[in-house]
Structure 1
Amino acid sequence: MQTDVGSKKPLTAAQQAAKEPFLPLMRELARAYQAFCSYDEENIRHLGLTGPQFDVIATLGNTSGMMMGQLAEKTLVTKGTLTGIVDRLEQKGLVRREVPPNNRRCFKIVLTPEGEKLFEEVFPAHINRLKERFSQLSETEIQQITAALRRIREIF
């Protein structure tokens, strides 16, 4: 059992938990994600879109459309949440639902011409904005960070 350095009293379970060596990693991971989201969403908001809406537009770009399940998997959004996002994008005239002739029980989500135009205008600019930041990392650093994040994902 660990003891408090100054008083030699046994540490409580909460005090012991607070000393876990992976906690600084969790904090940095969360802070990195928050910093990225803040930077990323600042650029997206001026388009009149939310982050998840932009993610759907970016994911559908350069494709002939996707089924809801595939789109949910690629955007990391649940199908239930995705339905609302697609509804709002449809109201904005950026996507449409198509019923495939071979499976009338599901929908394929497709960018409209307006959605394609938006994608062609904003996606390259958005990627260039992100590139400004990520170019501060070497290719080796990008590979190492990618591998470390993949490893973290795998343990969960």
Structure 2
Amino acid sequence: MKKTQSNATYNKPENPDIMETRYDLQILQSLRKIIRSIDIHSSRLRNEYDITAPQLITLLSIRNERPMTLAQLSHEVQLSPSTMVGIIDRLETKGLVERIRSQIDRRQTHIHITKEGKEFILKAPSPLQEQLATSLKGLSELEQSTISLSLQRVVSLMQAQDIDASPILQTGSIHKKSS
């Protein structure tokens, strides 16, 4: 038996791979819970507010910034331009944004939030689960940084750094459907 600094005793596993496997499974289980939680929150957004998380993030980005071009917006929310076109189309259909052609360069179109879009934002929930957003605010900057760095490390370990990701995950198939 080996003693730790806290004077608690534990049995050192004879096979060190057992401990690794347990951590692998714990990490996988935690990731699955996070993904499931995002699924549930995304369903709630769709069912109660008739908006998807990427649409809400896009709307918030337009509100927080100035009117933006499609390319600027695509870069801001880390989604492909083709995906952004569909999101803007749906937000425009709902009357939450409008496209306005630039007076300076007629080739450019800027996306503006409408009055209805601003009102919608006031009643919409956080795109991040409220409990998580509130809990994160209660943590020290060091704790928040540690969590962020740990998650970034997991992304790196999964070799997923180059995968495009919206600030809010959208679940579903990772394969594009062919036309």
TM-score by length of 2: 0.61
**Correspondence for 1:126:** 126
The sequence identity of aligned pairs, in percent, is 24
Deviations 1:12-49 (A, max 9, x none): xxxxxxx99x9658735742541342243133111111
Q: How does 1:12-91 map to 2 (within 5 A)?
A: 27=28, 30-45=31-46, 46-91=48-93
Q: 1:85 and 1:132, CA in 2 relative to 1: closer, same or farther beyond 3 A?
A: same
Alignment deviations for residues 28-79 of structure 1 (CA, whole Å, 9 cap, x no partner): 5742541342243133111111222112112212333211111111222110
Matches of 1:89 and 1:53, distance apart in 2: 7
Structure 2 unmatched ranges of 5 or more: 1-19, 162-179
Give me the TM-score of the superposition, normalised by structure 1: 0.68
Q: What's the Cα RMSD here?
A: 3.0
Residue 109 (structure 1) aligned to one of 108, 111, 130: 111
Structure in which a larger fraction of residues adopt helix? 1
Q: Bigger relative contact order, structure 1 or 2, given CA contacts below 8 A and separation 6+?
A: 2
Number of paired residues? 135
**Post-superposition shift, 1:138?**
3.2
Instruction: Assess, with a 3 A threshold, how the Cα gap between structure 1 residues 153 and 99 changes in structure 2: closer, same or farther.
Output: farther
Cα distance change of structure 1 residues 36 and 59 upon mapping to structure 2, 3 Å threshold: farther
Provide structure 1 residue ranges, at least 5 long, that are not aligned to the other structure.
1-18
Q: Secondary structure at the match of 1:104?
A: coil
